[in-house]
Amino acid sequence: MEKRDFLYEGKAKQVYTTDELDKIIIHYKDDATAFNGVKKASISNKGILNNKITELIFTKLEKKGIPTHFIKRLNERDQLCKKVTIFPIEVIIRNLIAGSMSKRLSIKEGTKPTNTIFELSYKNDDLGDPLINSDHAVALGLCTYDELDVIKNYTLKINDLLSSIFDNEGIILVDFKIEFGKTVDGDIVLADEISPDTCRFWEKGTHKKLDKDRFRRDLGSVEEAYIEILERISK
Ligand code: UDP
């Protein structure tokens, strides 16, 4: 597999074409941003850690019947993936209230809602990724109702699988963001990454944060937290 042309760059990753039209290479960087790009830094080895964490999680999900874009990890920072067209939607699950929902609705962080919360944001940096509902998503032409049904079903299943994987390792999956894409064959698959950049992980008992909140809130030991997550799910 040959890495060819640079396609585009996101906040934490770069995407390259390959010698096969339906495959891309995703390169994981150490760059970290928060608050819609206002806070910027480099977290040493984050790219290496998130590449491996995403590989482990996507492989576990595939084994349980969730289709993903992931094909294989090529080296420390690169992974080979199916080329997809990303739905411009951030799909969020909240098992406990934290972050933006805690602030927006003035609910104490860590509060357990009576039901699992399925949330959508419009992936648009200029607008600050605004919260939308399913009617907005369809009206904006981001997806169809049928596609949203598929996305929601996969997302709830992913939440069950991930919550149980992390629970077994002494970690609470507080919330997470995922993205979906459509392959050239028209299949809807889980894409992007699942890592401490995109999830909130709290250690059971202590509620110690093992995710990007350590960077957002200047709590220190960011790399150590990512290493801890990789070690726990590598067992
Ligand atoms: N999240 C993400 N990318 C974003 C926004 C949120 O990966 O652009 C993740 C975040 O890490 C958390 C979950 O989605 O696990 C919910 O985030 P929230 O809406 O609370 O926003 P935040 O507090 O991160 O601004």
Q: What is the model's pLDDT at position 1?
A: 81
pLDDT at 110 over 90: yes
Higher-pLDDT residue of 191, 1? 191
**Minimal-distance CA residue to ligand 1 atom 7:** 198
Rounded Cα distance between 159 and 94, Å, is: 9
Atom of ligand 1 nearest to the CA of 35: 25
Task: Give per-residue pLDDT as tens, 125-141.
Answer: 999 999 999 999 999 99
pLDDT at 106 over 90: yes
Q: What is the pLDDT averaged over residues 44-69?
A: 98
DSSP code of residue 111: P
CA of 99 to the centre of ligand 1 (A): 7
Determine the distance separating the centroid of ligand 1 and the alpha carbon of 3, expressed in angstroms: 31
What mean pLDDT comes out for the span 47-56?
Answer: 98
Query: Taking residues 69-75, what's their average pLDDT?
Result: 98
Q: Inform me whether the pLDDT recorded for 235 exceeds 90.
A: no
Atom 23 of ligand 1 has which residue's CA nearest to it?
Answer: 99
pLDDT (tens digit, 9 = 90+) per residue, 166-176? 999 999 999 99
Provide the 10 A C-beta neighbour count for residue 12. 23
What value does the mean pLDDT of the chain take?
98
What is the structure's pLDDT at 175? Answer: 99
- Residues 119, 151, 86, 222, CA torsion sign: positive
CA of 110 to the centre of ligand 1 (A): 15
- With beta carbons less than 8 A apart as the criterion, state whether 181 and 85 touch: yes
Question: 41: which 2 tokens?
Answer: 């830094």
- How far from the centroid of its chain's Cα atoms is residue 230's Cα? 15
User: Which CA distances in Å does 206 have to 71, 77, 202?
Assistant: 36, 32, 8
Percent of the chain whose pLDDT exceeds 90: 98
d(C-alpha 201, C-alpha 175), whole Å: 8
The ligand 1 site (C-beta within 6 Å) comprises 90, 92, 98-101, 129, 175-177, 198-200, 212
pLDDT band at 229 (very low <50, low <70, confident <90, very high): very high
Closest ligand 1 atom to 198 CA: 7
